[in-house]
Amino acid sequence: MRVAIIGVGCSKFGELWEKSFREIYLEAGLKAIEDAGIEGKEIEALYVGNMSSGMYLNQEHVAALIADYAGLAELGIPAVRVEAADASGGLALKEAYMAVASGIHKIVVAAGVEKVTDVGDAMKIASSSADQEWECFAGANLPALYALIARLHMKRFGGKEEDLALVAVKNHKNAVNNPIAQFRREISVEEVLNSPYIAEPLKVLDSAPISDGAAAIVLASEEVARKYTDTPVFIECAQASDYVALQNRKDLLTMNAVVKAAREAYRRAKVGAKDIDIAELHDSFTFAEILEYEDLGFAEKGKGYELIREGVTEIGGDLPVNTSGGLKACGHAIGATGIRQAVEIVQQLRNEAGKRQVDAEVGLSLNIGGTGATAIVTIYKR
């Protein structure tokens, strides 16, 4: 059974001190339901991506809480929280997709939410997505682990810190025209290169923030979708896993889970990498975006740098990437990111992206957990 997205909604991303966890997800959910033109009583299930509300807020039982606060508790619908580190939102999307594709449900909501600014060491919590015994206990965190991969890749294939800076510059430029983005200002290559190192070669301005935010989408079967909208966006979704600890991977320079998930998503959607018109990629660090160009098949191994150098992935290029600003500039509300990526692609395919609009019929989003132990690839068709 074909599955379509019929409604999308998103809160702003950033340091939302004035809003609570509940207020953020309620805002996104109400926007998605209104956009879909449905009533709450028509929702048959809810899937929520959230990484660490227990550590960030000392709040567990999140899915039921969201259903409660959203006025859905009276319906008694199944509400499920899923967790896959940074890929929690993408996993919520995949589980919702499966629920509709299987025929079990006709209309479901996939959402993601994270509230992080109320705690002290957000990076320590975010780095719990790495292997605690073999990596974090030895002093590594996410920036350090990505830096290890980046240094080896740059040494082997001739990448420069300027190449990484170009990714940051591009994504900040795109975010200027995104009303929900955390950083709506342009930056220069020089600013990136002059920012302090956090783990060489990665600098402060090579790194995505850890943000507050929520996003939600409404999914429906094709039959139901066509009753509500003339612009359904049909999706195919695939997930794959890899070793959590870098030491166990066969090749540090390939995210094997990304390769496998992409291969399966392309197969299901009957497309190839060459058919993708727009992509939202998981640029938790600028280098990650370049590595993902390669693992998704947009460039040969070692040639991802050429795409950013030649402007291929800019708005106006052959393959615009992160028109939203990406995690780098739109913000990275960990549990919400995978859903927020879907919101951007849907808006683009419906020609609702305003000044950042591109000409696209087929889109792709990639949401990864940690350093790539989980990967979820979704293909979108107008």
> Which one-letter amino acid corresponds to residue 177?
N
- The average pLDDT across 295-310 equals 98
User: Of the ranges 108-122, 137-151, 199-213, which one carries the lowest mean pLDDT score?
Assistant: 108-122
Task: Give per-residue pLDDT as tens, 313-322.
Answer: 999 999 999 9
Residue 72 pLDDT:
87
Q: What is the pLDDT of residue 273?
A: 98
**215 pLDDT band (50/70/90 cuts)?**
very high
* H helices present in 161-284, as ranges: 161-175, 189-194, 222-228, 256-269
The Cα–Cα gap between 316 and 356 comes to: 10
Judge whether 367 and 86 are in contact, CB under 8 Å: yes
pLDDT given for residue 144 in this prediction: 95
pLDDT at position 172? 98
Mean pLDDT of 231-245: 97
Mean pLDDT confidence for 22-32: 95
| Terminal alpha carbon distance of the chain | 17
Instruction: Kindly report the backbone phi and psi dihedral angles of residue 245, in degrees, each rounded to the nearest multiple of 5, phi listed first.
Output: -80, 135
Assigned token pair, 149: 């991969």
The CA-atom distances, in angstroms, between 306 and each of 171, 260, 265, 344, 378 are 17, 23, 25, 25, 25
Share of the chain above pLDDT 70, in %: 100
For 163-173, what is each residue's pLDDT tens digit?
A: 999 999 999 99
State residue 374's pLDDT score: 97
User: From the CB of residue 156, how many other CB atoms can be counted at a distance below 10 Å?
Assistant: 12
The pLDDT value given to residue 375 = 98
Q: How far apart are CA 11 and CA 154, in angstroms?
A: 36
Cα–Cα distance between 67 and 325 in angstroms, integer?
Answer: 30
pLDDT at 53 over 90: no
pLDDT at 359 over 70: yes
CA distance 265 to 237: 6
CB 270 within 8 A of CB 312: no
* Sign of the torsion formed by the C-alpha atoms of 382, 169, 112 and 377: positive
Residue 120, pLDDT score: 62
Check residue 305 and give its pLDDT: 98
pLDDT at position 183, please? 98
Per the document, the length of the chain is 382
Q: Return the pLDDT at 70.
A: 87
Contact 4, 225 (CB under 8 A): yes
- What is residue 272's predicted lDDT score, i.e. its pLDDT? 98
Q: What tens digit of pLDDT does each residue of 119-157 get?
A: 767 777 877 887 888 888 888 899 999 999 999 999 999
Phi, psi of 286 (to 5 degrees): -55, -40
- Going along the chain from its start, the domains and CATH numbers come out as 3-121+208-381 (3.40.47.10)
Query: How does pLDDT run across 55-104, given as a tens digit for each residue?
Result: 887 888 999 999 998 888 888 999 999 999 999 999 999 999 999 999 99
- CA-CA distance, 213 to 331, in Å (whole number)? 8
Q: Which of 1, 58, 7, 314 is nearest to 174 (CA)?
A: 314
Closest alpha carbon to 66 in 98, 35, 92, 34? 92
Rounded Cα distance between 279 and 322, Å, is: 6
Model-level pTM? 0.97
Whether the per-residue pLDDT at 353 is higher than 90: the answer is yes
Q: What is the pLDDT of residues 240-274, one digit of tens each?
A: 999 999 999 999 999 999 999 999 999 999 999 99
- Sole residue written with tokens 């995104």: 178
- Specify which residues 216 forms β-bridges with: 9, 111
Name the DSSP class of 135: I
Token pair 């594709």 in the structure block, residue: 101
